[in-house]
Structure 1
Amino acid sequence: MNKKVSAFIAIALAAGSLVACSSNPGGSSTSSSEEGKVINIYSWNDEFRQRVEAVYPEVKETSKDGTVTTLKDGTEIHWIVNPNQDGVYQQKLDEALLNQESADADSKVDIFLSETDYVNKYSSKEAGAAIPLKELGIDPEKDLADQYEFTKVTASDEDGVQRGSTWQTTPGVIVYRRDIAKDVFGTDDPTVVADKVKDWDTMAATAKELQAKGYFAFASSADTFRLYGNSIKEPWVKKGETVLNVAPEIIDWVNDSKEWLDSGYFTKTVKGQWTDEWNKEMGSKSKVFAFLFPAWGIDFTLKPNWDGEAGAWAVTTPPQEYNWGGSYIHGAVGTDNAKHVKDIILALTGDKDNLLKISKDYLDFTNTRSGMQEAAKDDNFKSDFLGGQNAFEYFAPVAENIEIAPLSPYDQGSVELIQNNFNDYLQGKVSFEKAKSNFEVAIKERYPEITEVKWPE
Structure 2
Amino acid sequence: MKKAMSLLTATAMAATLLAGCGGGTASSSAAPAADSTSTEASSTAAEPAADAAAEEGKVLNIWCWNDEFQSRFNDYYPGVKAIAADKSTTTLDNGVTVKWTINPNDNNNYQNKLDEALLKQDSAAADDKIDIFLIEADYALKYVDSEYTLDVKKDVGLTDDDLKDQYQYTKDIVTVDGVQKGTTWQATPGLFAYRRSIAEDVLGTDDPTEVQAALSDWDKFNDVAEKAATKGYKMLSGYDDSYRTFSNNVSAGWVDGTTVKVDPNIMNWVDQTKTYTDNGYNNKTSLWSDQWAADQGPAGKVFGFFYSTWGINFTLLGNSLATPESEGGKQEVGNGIFGDYAVCQGPQPYYWGGTWICAAAGTDNIPTIKDVMYSLTCDADIMTKITEDTQDYTNCKSAMDSIAADPNFGSAFLGGQNHIALFAEVAPTIDMSNAGPYDQGCNETFQSCFKDYFDGTVDLETAKKNFEDQIKVKYPELSSVEWPA
- Give TM-score, length-normalised by structure 2: 0.86
Counterpart of 1:397? Answer: 425
Counterpart of 1:232? Answer: 250
Q: Would the aligned equivalents of 1:61 and 1:70 in 2 still touch at CA under 8 Å? A: yes
Counterpart of 1:276? Answer: 290
Counterpart of 1:340? Answer: 368
Say if 2:173 is the partner of 1:173: no
- Distance in 2, Cα, partners of 1:394 & 1:112: 31
What do the CA deviations read for 1:109-140 (whole angstroms, capped 9, x no partner)? 1111222222122112xx11210012344334
Counterpart of 2:179? Answer: 161
Q: Would the aligned equivalents of 1:230 and 1:405 in 2 still touch at CA under 8 Å? A: no
SS at structure 1 position matched to 2:302: coil
- Distance in 1, Cα, partners of 2:299 & 2:351: 28
Aligned counterpart in structure 1 of residue 31 of structure 2, from 6, 13, 19: 19
Say if 2:417 is the partner of 1:365: no
Unaligned runs of 5+ in 2: 17-24, 322-335
Question: Aligned pair in 2 of structure 1 residues 371, 282: CA closer, same or farther (>3 Å)?
Answer: same
- Distance in 2, Cα, partners of 1:434 & 1:83: 34
TM-aligned CA deviation for residue 26 of structure 1: 5.0
What do the CA deviations read for 1:351-394 (whole angstroms, capped 9, x no partner)? 00111111112222211111111111113431111121110111
Within 5 Å, give how 1:65-84 maps onto structure 2: 65-84=86-105
Counterpart of 2:442? Answer: 414
Counterpart of 1:213? Answer: 231
TM-aligned CA deviation for residue 454 of structure 1: 2.7
SS at structure 2 position matched to 1:324: coil
Counterpart of 2:117? Answer: 96
Counterpart of 1:113? Answer: 134
Letter in 2 for 1:148: Y
Please identify, of 14-23 and 342-351, the stretch whose mean Cα deviation from structure 2 is larger.
14-23
- Distance in 2, Cα, partners of 1:350 & 1:47: 18
Letter in 2 for 1:369: K
Counterpart of 1:249? Answer: 265
- Distance in 1, Cα, partners of 2:391 & 2:400: 11
Please identify, of 28-37 and 285-294, the stretch whose mean Cα deviation from structure 2 is larger.
28-37
Q: Would the aligned equivalents of 1:199 and 1:320 in 2 still touch at CA under 8 Å? A: yes
Counterpart of 2:217? Answer: 199
TM-aligned CA deviation for residue 146 of structure 1: 0.9
TM-aligned CA deviation for residue 440 of structure 1: 2.5
Counterpart of 2:80? Answer: 59
Unaligned runs of 5+ in 1: none
TM-aligned CA deviation for residue 225 of structure 1: 0.3
Q: Would the aligned equivalents of 2:189 and 2:351 in 1 still touch at CA under 8 Å? A: yes
Counterpart of 1:293? Answer: 307
Counterpart of 1:383? Answer: 411
Q: Would the aligned equivalents of 2:41 and 2:122 in 1 still touch at CA under 8 Å? A: no
- Distance in 1, Cα, partners of 2:223 & 2:433: 28
Question: Aligned pair in 2 of structure 1 residues 73, 249: CA closer, same or farther (>3 Å)?
Answer: same
Question: Aligned pair in 2 of structure 1 residues 29, 47: CA closer, same or farther (>3 Å)?
Answer: farther
Q: Would the aligned equivalents of 1:16 and 1:448 in 2 still touch at CA under 8 Å? A: no
Question: Aligned pair in 2 of structure 1 residues 173, 6: CA closer, same or farther (>3 Å)?
Answer: closer
Say if 2:331 is the partner of 1:303: no
TM-aligned CA deviation for residue 328 of structure 1: 1.3
Letter in 2 for 1:410: Y
Q: Would the aligned equivalents of 2:59 and 2:96 in 1 still touch at CA under 8 Å? A: yes
Aligned counterpart in structure 2 of residue 44 of structure 1, from 54, 65, 68: 65
Q: Would the aligned equivalents of 1:27 and 1:132 in 2 still touch at CA under 8 Å? A: no
TM-aligned CA deviation for residue 5 of structure 1: 6.8
Q: Would the aligned equivalents of 1:111 and 1:330 in 2 still touch at CA under 8 Å? A: yes
Aligned-residue sequence identity (percent) comes to: 44
What do the CA deviations read for 1:188-228 (whole angstroms, capped 9, x no partner)? 11111111211100000111111111111111120100011
RMSD across aligned positions (CA): 2.2
Q: Would the aligned equivalents of 2:172 and 2:432 in 1 still touch at CA under 8 Å? A: no
- Distance in 2, Cα, partners of 1:298 & 1:133: 30
Question: Aligned pair in 2 of structure 1 residues 232, 6: CA closer, same or farther (>3 Å)?
Answer: closer
- Give TM-score, length-normalised by structure 1: 0.91
TM-aligned CA deviation for residue 233 of structure 1: 2.1
SS at structure 2 position matched to 1:292: strand
Letter in 2 for 1:141: D
